Chain A
């Protein structure tokens, strides 16, 4: 038998070609049917531009963390030394004054780094927020009805459970480093492009609200930095540790390292339902 159907006897050749055409047609029909049944209304929340924004914001956050991590660690150590040396209220103690001044100097250093880095961070966060805002408005706000939104979240295509098993669980709006959170976000949405888009609506909403909060915090921190720097320069003359210093350092840690963690996951894969479900003729 000729292994190549295109070079054999004409009748056999046409037969083989017909069989091939039939197979191709069958394959294409099957693929089309599958695409039709599994797609539903396509919600495109994470086009390449949004993905790129998320990736870039993660990179900027990582740079900022690397710059601040050592300084904040030093601040923590100095704060601990100050507390353990019972310096609180020990006016006139030379050792305590020295620790206090060192602490103030480190604090100023942190403010300087932040003042350098925050504008870029703010730009990146706002860019991600803005692109997600646009997608959410268009895709979920304007192109989706309440009924279809519910279907999208539930995953009408029925393959959501299998596709989501491999996804990393998000931790919501706190508890992890900012850059790690963006890495998680990026991995989550970048590896889910081929999967049904149902729970991506939850991911997009989570990131968007997170970015809104981060943007407000960054903006508030920026406004405070110059004032805080001026205050600290004055305080350096007196060697005081103010509650304001602790608050600013706490705020920075919260933004960057997620240290005021709430462990409630906001976005998690939906539950799977068994195959042999009763479907009522009255069901929506």
Chain B
């Protein structure tokens, strides 16, 4: 009889613990109403991310971008960089994801134009897709660089880089193709 009770307890305790854990990732708990102070909002987000709301990361990130957009400042770039570093250190996202997000929104360079193989073999076969991805990325840079960070020169530089890449890839890929034909 005692053994039966002990068995029951052994089952109940983990279940109770699991239930308690579930309450911390309750959607209501993870839903936050972020205010206009970007630093404060980032701290709130980090707290939530550290207590079971990791799955909300993308949504939080977009909310933070919206706050930055409403309060444009050159320092916002740095704030996002620091935030992404902290979130990475918390183990919510990988270093690669942190880099990808930062560069997509706040760097002149394009994440969509990356690779370690040569241009003829890596980029030319999918040139149209690469250009389309770069155009989509420019929209994100418009949000990150221009609207959130008030950094028009960097955004226009990215815009120029996109146009130059289009021209250079068109010429280079034609030259690659001509070489293949011969």
A205 lies within 8 A of B168 (CB):
yes
Given the contacts A145-B115, A145-B122, A146-B115, A284 and B109 also touching, CB distance less than 8 Å: yes
B161 lies within 8 A of A150 (CB):
yes
B5 interface contact, C-beta 8 A: no
B153 lies within 8 A of A273 (CB):
yes
Contact of B171 among A136, A146, A282 (CB under 8 A): A136
Q: Which residues of B contact A147 (CB under 8 A)?
A: 113-116
Given the contacts A150-B161, A271-B157, A273-B157, A137 and B118 also touching, CB distance less than 8 Å: no
Contact of A137 among B85, B122, B167, B175 (CB under 8 A): B175
B171 lies within 8 A of A208 (CB):
yes
Contact of A280 among B77, B154, B167 (CB under 8 A): B77
Q: Count the A residues whose beta carbon is within 8 Å of the partner chain — how many?
A: 41
Chain B residue nearest to A205 (CB atoms) is B171
Cα distance A10–B48 in the bound complex, in angstroms? 78
A127 interface contact, C-beta 8 A: no
Contact of B153 among A274, A278, A280, A283 (CB under 8 A): A274
B92 interface contact, C-beta 8 A: no
Q: Count the B residues whose beta carbon is within 8 Å of the partner chain — how many?
A: 47
Q: Which residues of B contact A282 (CB under 8 A)?
A: 81, 84-85, 98-99, 102-103
Q: Which residues of B contact A192 (CB under 8 A)?
A: none
Instruction: Find residues 150-195 in chain A having any chain B CB closer than 8 Å to their own CB.
Output: 150-151, 153-154
Cα distance A146–B129 in the bound complex, in angstroms? 14
A273 lies within 8 A of B118 (CB):
no
Q: Which residues of B contact A137 (CB under 8 A)?
A: 120, 172, 175-176, 178-179
Q: Which residues of A contact B106 (CB under 8 A)?
A: 280
A133 interface contact, C-beta 8 A: yes
Q: Which residues of B contact A201 (CB under 8 A)?
A: 164, 168
Cα distance A150–B115 in the bound complex, in angstroms? 10
Chain B residue nearest to A137 (CB atoms) is B175
Contact of A202 among B84, B102, B110, B167 (CB under 8 A): B167
A271 lies within 8 A of B156 (CB):
yes
Cα distance A258–B117 in the bound complex, in angstroms? 39
B170 interface contact, C-beta 8 A: yes
B168 lies within 8 A of A140 (CB):
yes
B168 lies within 8 A of A141 (CB):
no
Given the contacts A142-B120, A145-B119, A146-B122, A270 and B102 also touching, CB distance less than 8 Å: no
B34 interface contact, C-beta 8 A: no
Q: Which residues of B contact A133 (CB under 8 A)?
A: 174-175, 178-179
A12 interface contact, C-beta 8 A: no
Most chain-B Cβ atoms within 10 A of its Cβ — which of A202, A204, A282?
A: A282
Cα distance A143–B119 in the bound complex, in angstroms? 8
B78 interface contact, C-beta 8 A: yes
Chain B residue nearest to A276 (CB atoms) is B74
Chain A residue nearest to B116 (CB atoms) is A145
Q: Which residues of A contact B108 (CB under 8 A)?
A: 154, 273
Cα distance A191–B180 in the bound complex, in angstroms? 33
Contact of A270 among B117, B164, B175, B176 (CB under 8 A): B164
Q: Which residues of A contact B84 (CB under 8 A)?
A: 282
Q: Which residues of A contact B85 (CB under 8 A)?
A: 281-282
Q: Which residues of A contact B111 (CB under 8 A)?
A: 284
Given the contacts A270-B157, A282-B84, A149 and B113 also touching, CB distance less than 8 Å: yes
Q: Which residues of B contact A206 (CB under 8 A)?
A: 167, 171
Most chain-B Cβ atoms within 10 A of its Cβ — which of A142, A146, A151, A208?
A: A146
Cα distance A202–B172 in the bound complex, in angstroms? 10
B122 lies within 8 A of A204 (CB):
no
B153 lies within 8 A of A150 (CB):
no
Q: Which residues of B contact A149 (CB under 8 A)?
A: 113, 119, 123, 165, 168
Q: Which residues of B contact A281 (CB under 8 A)?
A: 81, 85
Contact of B102 among A141, A271, A283 (CB under 8 A): A283
Give B contacts to A, CB under 8 Å. Answer: 74, 77-78, 81, 84-85, 98-99, 102-103, 106-111, 113-120, 122-124, 130, 153-154, 156-157, 160-161, 164-165, 167-168, 170-176, 178-179
| Closest 4 A/B residue pairs (Cβ) | A205-B171, A280-B81, A282-B102, A141-B120
